[in-house]
Amino acid sequence: MNPSDRIFVALDTPDLDKALALAEGLRGLVGGVKLGKEFFTAQGPAGVNAVSALGVAVFLDLKFHDVPATVARAVRAALPLKPYMLDVHASGGEEMMRAAVDAVQESSPKPDSRRPLMLAVTVLTSLGDDDLFAAGVVDGAEEQVLRLARMAKKSGLDGVVCSALEAETLRAAMGPDFKLVTPGIRPAWAIADDQKRITAPADALAKGADYLVIGRPVTGADDPADAARRIADEIG
């Protein structure tokens, strides 16, 4: 894998033309793009297919969280979109996560390169210890992230979405093959935006991240392709 294949650019827009222009400009320069709820709610499966049709891998970040049967059906419905990665919330529980993995495996019984990576979101980084405590989670975010990551691995998921600041701990605890996908990445030359706890691209990889989700430093740049090239050079 080229170092640049580890970069997934978050196209956080509801606008199809904007997403297509960015994806086309970034094709071949990065591993793929991340499409989330904002884009999917506005543009639906047709929008995802239009981006994929450019030959760009898609991380379909819809963070499913529901009863197991519903999540399994949602995953089955997502598979024709051929995402490179898709995700659920680990807090949906082990049975829900297993249902998601089973749905992926049914579609392609043997592991192969076309089977999407199934990831779990652990604790949203917008939640602090106080928020977790208010919801009855008494251990704090760090412990909860580790607990949910272990549940995800036990349920057969391929990896988790986590803060780069947690990558080192998770890499040590979860072994070498469990995928760690990290947002909150900022190259030295980019502004932090609303990200409070940020990590440089090369540091995140050194701490054990497999894929870097990077949004505004690329999408907000005057020349997104150039920004992507600079990040690739930085990690290459």
Give residues in contact with ligand C5P (CB under 6 A).
10, 12, 36, 124-125, 163, 183-184, 193, 195, 213-216
Q: Is 63 a residue of the active site?
A: yes
Catalytic residue selected from 18, 34, 37, 63: 63
Minimum CB distance to ligand C5P, residue 43 (Å): 15
Minimum CB distance to ligand C5P, residue 176 (Å): 23
Nearer to ligand C5P, 12 or 234 (CB): 12
Minimum CB distance to ligand C5P, residue 214 (Å): 5
Question: How distant, in Å, are the alpha carbons of 10, 25, 116, 141, 234 from that of 212?
Answer: 10, 18, 17, 21, 13
Residue with the CB atom nearest ligand C5P in the bound state: 215
Nearer to ligand C5P, 153 or 216 (CB): 216
Nearer to ligand C5P, 72 or 141 (CB): 141
- Catalytic annotation, residues: 63
